[in-house]
Amino acid sequence: MQKEPHPLIGKQHLIEIKHPMVDPIAALQMKKGKVVTAEEAIELIRDNDTIVTAGFIGAGFAEELAITLKERFLKTGGPGNLTFTYPVGQGDGKNRGLNHLAMEGLVGKVICGHTGLTPGLGKLINDNKIFAYNVPVGVITQLYRDIAAGKPGNLTHVGLGTFIDPREDGGKLNDLTKTQGEDIVTLMPVDGKDYLLYKSFPINVAFLRGTTADTDGNITMEKEAMVLSGLTMAQAVHNSGGVVIVQVERLADSGTLNARDVVIPGILVDCVVVAKPENHWQTFNAPYNVAFSCEHRVPMQAVPPLPLDARKVIARRAAFELRPNSVVNLGIGMPEGVSRVANEERILEYSTLTAESGIIGGLPMGGLDFGAGINIDALIPENYQFDFYDGGGLDIAFLGMAETDAEGNVNVSRFGPRFVGPGGFIDISQNSKTVCFMGMFTADGLELTIENDKVNIIKEGRQTKFVKAVEQKTFSGNYAAQIRQRVLYITERCVFTLAEDGLELIEIAPGIDLDTQVLALMDFKPIMRRPPKLMDPRIFRFGRMGIKEDMLTIPIEERFTYNEEENTFFINLENYYVKTREEVQQMREIVGNMLMPLDKKVHTIANYDNFNVSPHLIDEYVAMVKFSAGFYDSVSRYTTSTFLRMKLGDELERRGVSSHIYESREEARKMMASA
Active site residues: 356
* Four-residue CA torsion sign, 168, 172, 174, 180: negative
Strands (E) across 403-537 are located at 403-405, 410-411, 414-415, 418-419, 434-438, 442-443, 447-451, 454-459, 463-464, 466-467, 486-490, 494-499, 502-508, 533-534
Q: Is 153 helix (H, G, I), strand (E, B) or coil?
A: strand
Which residue, among 55, 67, 83, 60, has the nearest Cα to 203 in the 3D structure?
Answer: 83
Cα 10 to Cα 25: distance, rounded to the nearest angstrom? 26
Task: Detail the DSSP E strand segments found in 482-620.
Answer: 486-490, 494-499, 502-508, 533-534, 560-563, 568-572, 577-578, 602-607, 612-613
Q: Which residues contact 244 (CB under 8 A, 6 or more apart)?
A: 205, 206, 208, 233, 234, 237, 238, 264, 268, 269, 270, 271
- Determine the distance from the C-alpha atom of residue 191 to the mean position of all C-alpha atoms in its chain, rounded to a whole number: 30
Amino acid sitting at position 416: G
Look up residue 503 and give its amino acid: L
Find the Cα–Cα–Cα–Cα dihedral 114, 116, 119, 120, rounded to 10°.
0
Decide: 56 and 97 in contact? Cβ < 8 Å: no
Question: What would you report as the CA-atom Rg of the chain, rounded to the nearest whole angstrom?
Answer: 30
Q: How far apart are CA 628 and CA 505, in angstroms?
A: 31
- Residue pair 53/86 in contact (Cβ under 8 Å)? The answer is yes
Measured CA to CA, the distance from residue 530 to residue 551 in angstroms comes to: 27
Q: In this structure, are residues 143 and 171 in contact, taking their beta carbons and an 8 Å threshold?
A: no
In 20-106, beta strands by DSSP E: 50-53, 82-86
- Contact between 595 and 562 under an 8 Å Cβ cutoff? The reply is yes
Helices (H), 345-476: 382-390, 425-431
- Phi, psi angles (nearest 5°) of residue 566: -95, -5
Q: How far is CA 43 from CA 205, 285, 328, 456, in A?
A: 12, 30, 44, 61
- ∠ CA 517-520-521, nearest 5°, is 75
Q: Classify residue 95 by burial, with Cβ atoms within 10 Å: 0-12, 13-18, 19+.
A: exposed
Task: Output phi, psi for 28, to 5 deg.
Answer: -65, -30
Whats the size of the chain, residue-wise?
675
Q: Rounded to an integer, what distance in angstroms lies between the CA atom of residue 388 and that of residue 377?
A: 16
Whether the CB-CB separation of 58 and 283 falls below 8 Å is answered with: yes
